[in-house]
């Protein structure tokens, strides 16, 4: 109970403190400490979940099982990472007087509120509650996307909020219809929209109704999760937001939205049979992978390129979740973690490139391996990881997805996916490889204040990806397996 309530409380308090304090350094440390506490609280709760206990609060409004615990730990861990990098990034912005102190405070307040909203998502058992929190994440992050108040950032934020609000409207409609489906079954009442009770009653739900609701959910949350063909806000928002925020958006926000889809998919799976869910999620997943691959090929702005790669990876996650089975869902969850490590790593790298060269255009930067060895090397690590190369984590999750697809006999899907992955690799190595290799231009790489913990974080992320490529620690393995059990997959 309390340990669960602690999780959202911490960032909320941090936000209020940031609002209060004048000194920018203090703000940073408040946020840092908050993130650290958040992580410890989450892991503590997750440890509980590992022992198979599920927590509830506010009469089942909040609820935590292995899956929520897993998502929360990813969120908390990435939050800490991002805070550490934010410190370096925002200091640089202050020093180069891109922003003033007010904006600095503004940033940290919103940052914490954003984290708060995201922690609510996995905790909410009531599906409408989940919707509210997801919508809340949109509203807060929109302000962060528009942080710079430049033309482009405002445009990006506008598109982001417009598209996501429209999308999420359908998600709410879907939720209503789900409510109706369960209400007609088990009468009115507060418990009607609770995931736990819905899952329990799923067999009896009217398939047609549930199908309609899931279609709406898929479009609604899919928009937010950046699944093609309703992904269009994503490249703009990711490229215009401050780099740490881009990392958060792509690393966990997308997954929060996808988390909503997961919860609904579980119910739909039981109510309408697996085929329907598998087909619709495969369509969205494969579509995202293919479209993203084509866009990656031609992209020269490294942040936009990474944004499209996020679309690709959400596609992979959806694809593998859709195929289901013992491997598919495991792969999907594992891929969420891998992506939450690889994408921030790459975003931070581009952040440092921006600090070094003042641009993120791949065509204008050369020879990073020479001028900034750490950035160059880790950049290559991130590149290989994101393109699903062994010995990095994503290869394992993608391989498990192949296994799932092979079990389902979906050779065509594998073939198409592999073709697309070749394009992705081509685009990545062509663009980023060009940045890292070659001779650095004269007088480039004027050093900027790097914050050593940030460097440590970069190394840690790279190391983590390598580790997950060769060995998945027992606890993690168990947590994921239990989450798979929660979704009812694996039988």
Partner 1 sequence: MIRQWIEIFSVIDAISIGMLLTTLAMNSVRRIETCLKAYTMNSLLLALLMGVCAIYMGIAHLYIAAAVTLISKGIVIPYLLRRVVRSLRLTRDAEPYIGTTMSLVISAVLVVIVYSSLSKGIVVEGVIENTLKISISIILIGLFIMITRKKAVTQVIGLLFMENGLFLAGFSLTYGMPTLIELGVLFDLLMGVIILGVFLSQIKKAFVSVDLDRLTTLKG
Partner 2 sequence: METEGIILTASAVFLSGMLLLAVMPRRVSHLAYYIFALGSLLFGLSALQGLLFADAWSLSAPISGFLALGFRADQLSSFFGLTLSILGFAVSLYSTGYSKNAVNPRSQGALYGLFLLSMYAVFYASNIVTFLISWETMSLSSYFLVVSDTRDEAAGRAGLIYAVMTHIGTAAIILAFMLLYGSTGSMDFATIKAGAGAVGAVKSAVFILAVLGFGTKAGIVPLHTWLPLAHPAAPSNVSALMSGVMIKAGIYGMLRVCLDILGGDVAWWGVTLLAAGAVSSVLGVMYALMEHDIKRLLAFSSVENIGIILLGMGASVVFTSCGLSSLAGLALAASLYHVINHAMFKGLLFMGAGSVLHATHTKNMEEMGGLIKRMPWTGLFFLMGSVSICALPPFNGFISEWLTFQSLILGIKSNTLLTKVLMLSGGAALALTGALAAAAFVKAFGISFLGMPRGDNAAHAKEASSGMVAGMAVPALLCLLLGVFPGVVLRLVSAIPLCGLPSVSGLPQEGMSISVEGGFASLSPVVILLLMAITGVSVYALTRALGGRAKINIADPWDCGIRRLTPKMQYTATAFTKPLRVIFKSIYLPRRDLKIRYAAKPFFPIDITYHSDVTPVFEQYLYSPVIRGIHGAARRVRGLQSGSLHLYLGYILVTLVALLLIWG
> Interface with partner 1 by CB under 8 A: which residues?
126, 128-129, 131-132, 135-136, 139, 142-143, 146, 149-152, 154-159, 161-162, 165-166, 169-170, 172-173, 176-177, 179-180, 183, 188, 190, 193, 206, 208-209, 211-212, 235-236, 239-240, 295, 298-299, 304
Q: In the bound complex, what is the minimum distance in angstroms from residue 333's beta carbon to partner 2?
A: 12
Tokens encoding 226: 């950046």
What residue 374 binds from partner 1, partner 2, none (CB within 5 to 8 A, per partner kind)? Answer: none
Nearest distance, CB of residue 158 and partner 1, angstroms: 5
The string over 475-485, giving b where at least 16 C-beta atoms fall within 10 Å of a residue's C-beta and e elsewhere, is eeeebbbbbbb
What span, in angstroms and rounded, lies between the C-alpha atoms of 183 and 179?
A: 6
Which C-beta is closer to partner 2: that of 62 or that of 381?
A: 381
Q: Are 193 and 178 in contact, with CB atoms under 8 Å apart?
A: yes
CB of 458 vs partner 2, minimal distance in Å: 18
Taking the complex as a whole, how short is the minimal distance between the CB of residue 261 and partner 2, in angstroms?
14
Residue in 392, 460, 338 with CA at minimum distance from that of residue 81: 460
461 three-class SS: helix
- Cβ neighbourhood burial of 40 (10 Å; 0-12, 13-18, 19+): middle
Q: What residues make contact with partner 2 under the rule CB under 8 A?
A: 158-159, 162-163, 166-167, 170, 211-212, 215-216, 218-219, 223, 229-230, 232-233, 235, 276, 280, 291, 294-295, 297-298, 326-327, 330, 367, 369-370, 380, 384, 389-391, 395-396, 399-400, 402-403, 405-407, 409, 411, 414-415, 418-419, 421-423, 425-426, 429-430, 433-434, 437-439, 469-472, 477, 481
Min separation Cβ 107 and partner 1, Å: 16
Indicate which of partner 2, partner 1, none lies near residue 190 (CB less than 5 to 8 Å, by partner kind): partner 1
Q: Cβ contacts of residue 334 below 8 Å, gap of 6+?
A: 393, 396, 397, 400, 468, 472, 480
Which partner in partner 1, partner 2, none is near 352 (CB below 5 to 8 A by kind)? none
CB nearer to partner 2: give 179 or 399: 399
CA distance 454 to 442: 27
Q: How far is the CB of 301 from partner 1 (least distance, A)?
A: 8
Write the CA distances from 171 to 181, 218, 223, 312, 398, integer angstroms.
15, 8, 10, 22, 28
Q: Which of 294, 305, 291, 466 is nearest to 382 (CA)?
A: 466
Nearer to partner 2 by Cβ, of 63 and 402: the residue is 402
């Amino acid at each position: 109970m309390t340990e669960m309530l602690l999780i959202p409380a911490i960032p909320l308090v941090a936000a209020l403190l940031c609002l209060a304090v004048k000194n920018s350094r203090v703000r940073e440390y408040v946020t840092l400490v908050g993130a650290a506490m958040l992580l410890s609280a989450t892991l503590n709760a997750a440890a509980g979940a590992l022992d198979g206990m599920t927590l509830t609060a506010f009469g089942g409004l909040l609820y935590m099982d292995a899956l929520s615990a897993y998502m929360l730990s990813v969120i908390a861990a990435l939050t800490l990472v991002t805070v550490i990098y934010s410190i370096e990034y925002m200091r640089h912005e202050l020093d180069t007087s891109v922003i003033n102190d007010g904006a600095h405070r503004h940033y940290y307040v919103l940052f914490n509120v954003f984290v708060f909203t995201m922690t609510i998502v996995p905790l909410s058992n009531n599906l409408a509650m989940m919707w509210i929190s997801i919508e809340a994440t949109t509203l807060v992050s929109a302000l962060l996307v528009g942080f710079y108040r430049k033309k482009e950032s405002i445009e990006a934020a506008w598109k982001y909020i417009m598209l996501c609000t429209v999308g999420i409207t359908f998600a709410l409609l879907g939720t209503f219809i789900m409510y109706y489906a369960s209400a007609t079954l088990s009468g009115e009442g507060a418990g009607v929209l609770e995931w736990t009770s819905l899952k329990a009653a799923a067999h009896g739900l009217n398939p047609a109704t549930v199908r309609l609701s899931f279609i709406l959910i898929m479009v609604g949350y899919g928009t937010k999760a950046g699944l093609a063909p309703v992904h269009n806000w994503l490249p703009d928002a990711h490229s215009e937001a401050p780099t740490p925020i881009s990392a958060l958006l792509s690393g966990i926000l997308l997954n929060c939205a996808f988390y909503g889809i997961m919860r609904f998919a579980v119910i739909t799976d039981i109510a309408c049979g697996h085929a329907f869910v598998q087909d619709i999620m495969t369509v969205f997943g494969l579509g995202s992978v293919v479209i993203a691959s084509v866009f990656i090929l031609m992209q020269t702005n490294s942040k936009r390129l990474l944004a499209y790669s996020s679309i690709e990876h959400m596609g992979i996650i959806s694809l593998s979740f859709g195929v289901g089975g013992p491997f598919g869902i495991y792969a999907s969850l594992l891929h969420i973690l891998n992506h939450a490590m690889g994408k921030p790593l790459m975003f931070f790298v581009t952040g440092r490139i921006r600090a070094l060269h003042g641009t993120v255009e791949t065509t204008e930067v050369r020879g990073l391996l020479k001028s900034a060895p750490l950035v160059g090397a880790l950049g290559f690590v991130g590149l290989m990881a994101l393109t699903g190369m062994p010995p990095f984590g994503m290869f394992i999750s993608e391989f498990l997805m192949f296994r799932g697809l092979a079990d389902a006999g979906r050779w065509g899907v594998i073939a198409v996916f592999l073709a697309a992955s070749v394009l992705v690799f081509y685009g990545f190595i062509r663009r980023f490889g060009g940045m890292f290799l070659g001779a650095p231009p004269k007088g480039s790489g004027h050093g900027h204040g790097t914050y050593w913990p940030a460097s440590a974080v970069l190394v840690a992320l790279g190391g983590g990806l390598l580790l997950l490529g060769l060995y998945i620690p027992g606890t993690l393995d168990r947590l994921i397996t239990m989450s798979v059990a929660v979704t009812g997959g694996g039988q």
